[in-house]
Structure 1
Amino acid sequence: MHRPLPMNVLFVLIFSVLMTACSRQAIYETAIGFERSSAGLELATVKVDNLDIAYLRNRQAVNGDTIVMIHGFGANKDNWTRLAEHLTDDFNVFAIDLPGHGDSSKPLDIGYHLEDQAGYVARILEVLSIDDAHIMGNSMGGAITALYAANHPDKVKSAVLFDPAGILDYESQLVELVKEGGNPLIPKQPGDFERLLDFALEEKPFVPWPILDVMEERAIANREVNEVIFAAIRDAGFEADFRNAITRIKAPVLVIWGKEDRVINYRNGEVFVAAIPDAWLEVMEGIGHAPMVEAPKASAKLFLEFIGHNR
């Protein structure tokens, strides 16, 4: 079984790189590479139409089902490595950077509505020859996962929605802040990224300072495309169509929600499971907006129990 990189090993790694006078970017790349490797994953890219799409996949394929993982707004494929560490011995994992995110192409002139993004996922999986998989998504990626499952029922074994977007019957702190003209999800200046983590996560994983600095620099550099994407996904006119779409989902669906979520109120989970024909809800105490990051082992256990029950 793959093991996460112990903290003492990570400190030695960072210290060793620092002693070689490498840049913070080199430290980041080395550390993120070790985390991917400890999860049994490797980086790959694929051309999808006119877009370059980056993704993580198993270093060694296994004789098991496929899991596709779809990150949330402003996030990337590496949000899934700590969950994948518990799954890659038995499943073939594909964690995708959506267009506009991570290491994938970031055009400003394509559609970023949820339905558009679900279409990109469908095209990416077609190019990767993935046509029968468990699909997981967080936040925006949870809404995209739900739409993909609704639009391609024959290609989805199960769906797991971590704190999904798409329904806002119950408002959250984020909604209140956006109405007041602020948005903690889009870092604009130094210090904003750490505030984003404090806002989004209740159980923050340890991130050493050189890595945190690079993550912040990248987030600030992505501000323009993030503003375009956020404007598209907050389109209030889409919600009725989304609610109708998820009633068409045929696969079993597990909705996992952190009770301390300040981005999307956990009580919206009840609305999701009421709308989806075969859905369960699990609320995780003491967890925020990203259970797969904050409680990866517990999240993996819920998924395994869920698919075991539905076999």
Structure 2
Amino acid sequence: MLQKSPYTAVLLLLSFLLLSACSRQDIYQKAIGFERSSAGLETASITLGELDIAYLRNIEMNSGDTIVMVHGFGANKDNWTRMARELTDKFNVYAIDLPGHGESSKPLDLGYRLDQQVVHLARILQALDIAEMHMMGNSMGGAITALYAATYPEQIKTAVLFDPAGILKYESELFGRVVADDNPLIPSKPGDFERLMDFALEKKPFIPWPIPGVLEEKALANETINKVIFAAIRDANVESDFRTIIARIEDPVLIVWGKEDRVINYRNGDVFVSIIPDAQLKILDGVGHVPMIEAPEESARLFLEFAKSHALKAE
């Protein structure tokens, strides 16, 4: 039985490591490794041509369905760990580091438009021999999930979109900041990572020292690739094309949106529902842009109820 609330154990581990005079990087690696293993996950990687792709998967596979988790812009596979903790006992979870993110390769010239990222993801899943799955994505990953479901309907059992990108009928606080050349999603100097967390998350989770400092170092090191990816998504996004494509989705779709989202206005959820046939929308009060981090148990419960209801309909 996996431990469902490992935060006390994390503190004990950190205390031990501090007394052992470990470096910040050592402490970070041990803490993140402990959180992964507590969720029943382990790291793995696969090589696709010149790309190395990192991902998390179940330590112990089971007879359940597969879930593929797709992170958002500037994020990585560990954004899903706390939600995955609620799922790995019954499902086989794969949380992917998309190219340009996390521990995967970060070529500047790969191509990072949303449609190109769908192609990259399809190659990854084919290499992992995943042919049928539940897919869930957050923000950019939510838009990728929607496009993937429209493109490969035979592969998708259900799709869950957490605060998805792709439709911006209703502007958010981020829009004004980007216009003013002050993008809080791309840290460029010390202190910017904390600003990013404050902006993206309404309900910030417990993150013990020194993990925030190490995460900031990683974010600053990724500034160049993050600017490339953000520009590719912004400059190539044709919302009318996106709407046309997702209108073709035939699979069951659940949209979960934090009402306090400052990155993408939650009212765009109604637009998604009006376009995707039979899609369902759930608004979470007191939650920001990343529900699976801010409310992992509730996010998992919503998925489980949604998947169960459609499994019963299929019988």
Partner of 1:267: 267
Q: Is the 2:77–2:97 contact (alpha carbons within 8 Å) kept by the matching residues of 1?
A: yes
Matches within 5 A, 1:264-303: 264-303=264-303
Q: Is the 1:135–1:159 contact (alpha carbons within 8 Å) kept by the matching residues of 2?
A: yes
Partner of 1:104: 104
Aligned equivalents of 1:76, 1:38: Cα separation in 2: 18
Q: Normalization by structure 2: what TM-score?
A: 0.97
How far apart are 1:5 and its partner, in Å? Answer: 5.0
Size of the alignment, in residue pairs? Answer: 311
Q: Is the 1:174–1:183 contact (alpha carbons within 8 Å) kept by the matching residues of 2?
A: yes
Aligned equivalents of 2:34, 2:125: Cα separation in 1: 26
State the secondary structure of the residue aligned to 2:22: coil
- One-letter amino acid matched to 1:173: E
Q: Is the 2:57–2:95 contact (alpha carbons within 8 Å) kept by the matching residues of 1?
A: yes
Partner of 1:79: 79
Matches within 5 A, 1:141-220: 141-220=141-220
Q: Which runs of 5+ in 1 are unaligned?
A: none
- One-letter amino acid matched to 1:297: E
Aligned equivalents of 2:244, 2:266: Cα separation in 1: 20
Aligned equivalents of 2:70, 2:219: Cα separation in 1: 18
Partner of 2:249: 249
Partner of 1:225: 225
How far apart are 1:309 and its partner, in Å? Answer: 1.4
State the secondary structure of the residue aligned to 1:89: coil
- One-letter amino acid matched to 1:99: P
How far apart are 1:129 and its partner, in Å? Answer: 0.4
Partner of 2:91: 91
How far apart are 1:237 and its partner, in Å? Answer: 4.6
State the secondary structure of the residue aligned to 1:69: strand
Aligned equivalents of 1:267, 1:124: Cα separation in 2: 33
How far apart are 1:18 and its partner, in Å? Answer: 1.6
Partner of 2:12: 12
Aligned equivalents of 1:287, 1:190: Cα separation in 2: 26
State the secondary structure of the residue aligned to 1:261: coil
Partner of 1:115: 115
Aligned equivalents of 2:80, 2:8: Cα separation in 1: 22
Partner of 1:130: 130
How far apart are 1:17 and its partner, in Å? Answer: 1.1
* CA gap 1:13/1:5 in 2 versus in 1, 3 angstroms: farther
How far apart are 1:239 and its partner, in Å? Answer: 1.5
Aligned equivalents of 1:120, 1:166: Cα separation in 2: 18
Q: Is the 2:72–2:140 contact (alpha carbons within 8 Å) kept by the matching residues of 1?
A: yes
- One-letter amino acid matched to 1:93: V
How far apart are 1:48 and its partner, in Å? Answer: 1.6
Q: Which runs of 5+ in 2 are unaligned?
A: none
Q: Is the 1:5–1:35 contact (alpha carbons within 8 Å) kept by the matching residues of 2?
A: no
Q: Is the 1:4–1:35 contact (alpha carbons within 8 Å) kept by the matching residues of 2?
A: no
How far apart are 1:234 and its partner, in Å? Answer: 1.0
Give a deviation string over 1:13-60, Cα, whole Å, max 9, x none. 112112222111110000000000000000000012220000000000
Q: Is the 1:260–1:289 contact (alpha carbons within 8 Å) kept by the matching residues of 2?
A: yes
Aligned equivalents of 1:200, 1:46: Cα separation in 2: 30
Give a deviation string over 1:60-83, Cα, whole Å, max 9, x none. 001000000000000000000000
What is the root-mean-square deviation in Å for CA atoms of aligned residues?
0.9
Give a deviation string over 1:257-292, Cα, whole Å, max 9, x none. 000000000000000011111210000000000000
Deviates more, 1:2-11 or 1:81-90: 2-11
Partner of 1:33: 33
Runs (4+) off by over 6 Å: none
Q: Normalization by structure 1: what TM-score?
A: 0.98
State the secondary structure of the residue aligned to 1:209: coil
* CA gap 1:97/1:158 in 2 versus in 1, 3 angstroms: same
Aligned equivalents of 2:127, 2:49: Cα separation in 1: 9
Aligned equivalents of 1:119, 1:52: Cα separation in 2: 16
State the secondary structure of the residue aligned to 2:43: strand
Partner of 1:45: 45
Percent identical across equivalent pairs? 64
Aligned equivalents of 2:237, 2:279: Cα separation in 1: 25
Q: Is the 2:6–2:35 contact (alpha carbons within 8 Å) kept by the matching residues of 1?
A: no
State the secondary structure of the residue aligned to 1:74: coil
Aligned equivalents of 1:42, 1:236: Cα separation in 2: 35
Give a deviation string over 1:176-231, Cα, whole Å, max 9, x none. 11011110000011110011001000110011121110000000000000000000
Aligned equivalents of 2:187, 2:256: Cα separation in 1: 26
